[in-house]
Structure 1
């Protein structure tokens, strides 16, 4: 489980940072050179998801969605300086609960 949490946390940070590099280039007028570390970061994101302990890629990606949402809210707050409101917190909590059901729910053989 520790490996899964590490992989999801690292993947979320890498994906958000990689996507933000494109956002900075296309929406904030930064240099096109922002894309280079963005692509490296997105590659790291994809590799980290392969470390998740799950037999099915689709389940891994579905469960990752909850982590990504919460990480995006934390990015909103920590990097962009916008404090999450109660709806952000409630939505993130619901998504984490859904992620736990998808990833850790008992499976039949």
Structure 2
């Protein structure tokens, strides 16, 4: 159950961080304005809060593992929202990152 909670928190954090960055991108690069930028800043703040809810207490471990989630999540966001089509190397890289997440977060550790 602890692993499921952790995975769900990583997914929620990804939505807030990637979504927040995308909103800022839209506000600045696509000239959608300050409301989009402000919403992005709020979402990025929520990402920082959600990261603190992980069961593991080590900041460095959480953020390192989240880096892999961010890589895979960014590709998925691009596919869902911007019509991006990853190639086999994008997919292979994302899978390698997710394996890294699993090793960092869920490998058994001694006492």
Query: What whole-Å deviation, never above 9, does each CA across 1:24-73 have from its counterpart, x for those lacking one?
Result: 12211111221121122112111111111112011011011111111101
Cα distance between partner residues in 1 of 2:84 and 2:20: 20
User: Quick one: which of 40, 44, 60 aligns to 1:58?
Assistant: 60
Cα distance between partner residues in 2 of 1:107 and 1:30: 47
TM-score, normalising length: structure 1: 0.93
Unpaired segments of 5 or more residues in structure 2? none
Cα deviation for residue 108 of structure 1 reads 3.3
Map of 1:55-94 to 2, 5 A cutoff?
55-94=57-96
Query: What whole-Å deviation, never above 9, does each CA across 1:9-36 have from its counterpart, x for those lacking one?
Result: 0000100111111111221111122112
Alignment RMSD, CA only? 1.1
Runs (4 or more) in structure 1 with deviation over 3 Å come to none
Residue equivalent to 1:19: 21
Cα distance between partner residues in 1 of 2:57 and 2:84: 37
User: Quick one: which of 10, 30, 33 aligns to 2:35?
Assistant: 33
TM-score, normalising length: structure 2: 0.92
Cα distance between partner residues in 1 of 2:41 and 2:84: 26
Task: Count residues in correspondence.
Answer: 109
